[in-house]
Amino acid sequence: MTARHCNILFKPDGAGVDVPAGTTILAAAAKAGVFVNSLCGGDGVCGRCRVIVREGKVSGGSTEPFTHSEIQEGYILACEGRVESDLVVELPLETQLAKAPEYAGEEVPELTDVSRAARRKVPFAPLVRKTYLQLPPPDLNNNVSDLQRLELALGKRVATEGFQMGLKVTRRLPEVLRKSDWAVTAVTGFRGPLTEIIDVEAGDTSQRNMCIAADIGTTTVVCHLVDLRHGQTLGQAAKYNSQAAYGADVIRRIVHASENADKGDALRQAVIGDLNELIHELVTRYRLGRRDITLIAASGNTAMLHLLLSLPAESIRKEPYIGAAYRLPPFRAAEMGLQINPRGLLYCLPCVAGFVGADIVGGIYASGLAQSEEIRMLIDIGTNGEIVIGNRDFLVCASASAGPAFEGAECRCGMRATRGAIDHIRLADPQHVLSFSTISSAPPLGLSGTGYVDLVAEMLRIGVIDKTGRIDGSLSGDCVRHGDYGELEYMLIPADRAGGDRDILITQSDVNNILRAKGAVYAAASVLLKSLDMGFNDLAEIMVAGAFGNFLNLENAIFIGLLPDIPIQKLRFVGNTSLAGAKLAALSQTAYEDIFAVADRTTYFELSTDPSFMDQFVSACFFPHTHIELFPTVMAELAGKRSS
């Protein structure tokens, strides 16, 4: 007698498979070619392979990992549930998302070249270290205190001018030393000239010392998990900042946070929640414990760091834009509610001004700008666009609000540079997409910031929009059409060919958002250069940083006028330098101190008081620019197109 076969349909992929009754859902999925995330490989341990049984009967499966409502909904671990009848199984988003690790904007390889070019040696000495010590047991001749015994042994291993230890750890110290037979691991944190012994763990735990480097952006929060033993990045995770519910820009969030203590706390909770979620994701993915993470190095703009630490941010938004504190010592991460080792430390990179934050300071350091001999420019394109011009002798910085469009937010089909995001697109004609690619080659779900740069450039090339960004209504048809509220939109990929359930399109407002965002960035760069009596051609190089993912089509960025029309070899995309700065700080005490020195010597240039900014902004709100003579190669290309 042959085993009874059941048909299993997996949603949303739509793949089906026949398996004998009694097969686990996980095995059925593997047979169907549907990837269900599972770290433990089917031991029912990791709890990652959560699926929902929509129709049909299954047996087995523990209810432990699920809430009551999830059980009601049909949640089950795929590795435990056994097929009893025909099934319809849905993979919830978290189970699919885990399919490929989310792309989080790794710093690009060239960044290391910059460091090399600057002939910079960053000595490896993490801010938090673990040192395994085998202490000589005390006797009547060697009768120093337990603490002194520890300090003497540690002093030989950790260069320092002195130690400090908190009362809690000191109280536990005698017991830990004796129970572990004098073999302990000292966890030490860098506090300038002093070193804090933040914890003493029994036995040798020095193999498990991890750090989270975090870039807390207005729109996107990115975390990297770094092994502090050797500085290798293990993985990354990212998500949109949940504070967005309280306003897309920092001003609205500050206003909200300043209303009362509860509201201020809500904003802190939101970002702490995001960080904890990302930490949890990374810890789970790499099968670590929270205790293994002893350090968080955080970078972000001034307002974000204020909200993270519950510092009053109200005066940042009011002239003369003063923050509560720009240079902060390390804090106990648990005090902020961050779920890492309860004794672990949170190091915040320093800020310069109300609108020049740690993100750009970290970027100046990580990009090598602060050590550069020639004068370079760093453009960090985030929700606020920051521009820095300088070299090892001077650094000036300006900031302009660009909006979150380049991070894929606040646009109809915008998304982070993550799985399924279109990051490259070419159009054949107004009716046809020639080619596109998505991150992880997944079915297209939406457009990343890079995708928008490409798309707008292509629309301009083939005449779907004019130089003001207006969609040409006379092209009306399947692609150019009036959407909801009568707004013109340009449809790229219909829902039936997309990975989601909606058409992928760009609306007139989206184009306008991109136009304003690129206008703000270009105008800020122009005004800052002008204030130095320089032009773009006086720069040895322009480095472009930002949350674009690992890729930005520089030609197209020039084509839409986001970047100046200078020889392409003088432009370089350097990725997320804010994060890179945080990571360098975490890995090197020297880097951490150097970053503070960078903050000290960065001069802030206030654009809002510069009468020419508004004029420059309006003239930059045109593709590529009102002064088209500034973009000779773009003009030549457009002229060539017209005559051909």
Give the interface with other proteins as residue ranges (CB under 8 A): 466-468, 470, 472, 474, 615, 618-619, 621-622, 626-629, 638, 642
DSSP string, 349-397: PP--BTTB-HHHHHHHHHTTGGG-SS-EEEEEESSEEEEEEE-SS-EEE
DSSP string, 440-462: GGPPP-EE-HHHHHHHHHHHHHH
Q: How far is the CB of 618 from other proteins (least distance, A)?
A: 4
- Cβ-proximal residues to 355 (8 Å cutoff; 6+ apart), any chain: 301, 302, 316, 321, 384, 399, 604
Q: How far is the CB of 472 from other proteins (least distance, A)?
A: 8
Q: How far is the CB of 470 from other proteins (least distance, A)?
A: 7
Nearer to other proteins, 609 or 643 (CB): 643
- How far apart (Å, rounded) are the C-alpha atoms in residues 313 and 355? 11
The whole-angstrom distance between residue 34's C-alpha and the CA centroid of its chain comes to 28
- How far apart (Å, rounded) are the C-alpha atoms in residues 406 and 546? 9
Nearer to other proteins, 187 or 634 (CB): 634
Nearer to other proteins, 130 or 625 (CB): 625
- How far apart (Å, rounded) are the C-alpha atoms in residues 364 and 296? 20
Q: How far is the CB of 626 from other proteins (least distance, A)?
A: 5
- Cβ-proximal residues to 295 (8 Å cutoff; 6+ apart), any chain: 126, 127, 128, 189, 210, 211, 212, 228, 340, 344, 345, 346, 347, 586
Nearer to other proteins, 252 or 467 (CB): 467
- How far apart (Å, rounded) are the C-alpha atoms in residues 408 and 554? 17
Three-class SS of 466-522: CCCCCECHHHECCCEEECHHHCEEEEEECHHHCCCCCCEEEEHHHHHHHHHHHHHHH
Joined together, the tokens standing for residue 488 give: 């013109």
Q: How far is the CB of 611 from other proteins (least distance, A)?
A: 13
Q: How far is the CB of 606 from other proteins (least distance, A)?
A: 23
Q: How far is the CB of 617 from other proteins (least distance, A)?
A: 9
Nearer to other proteins, 542 or 621 (CB): 621
Nearer to other proteins, 159 or 485 (CB): 485
Instruction: Name the DSSP class of 245.
Output: G
- At residue 91, what is the residue type? L
Nearer to other proteins, 122 or 462 (CB): 462
Q: How far is the CB of 285 from other proteins (least distance, A)?
A: 50
Q: How far is the CB of 628 from other proteins (least distance, A)?
A: 6
Nearer to other proteins, 32 or 475 (CB): 475
- How far apart (Å, rounded) are the C-alpha atoms in residues 87 and 38? 20
What are residue 161's phi and psi, to 5 degrees?
-90, -5
Cβ(544)–Cβ(554) under 8 Å? yes
Nearer to other proteins, 263 or 470 (CB): 470
Give Rg (Cα) of the chain: 27
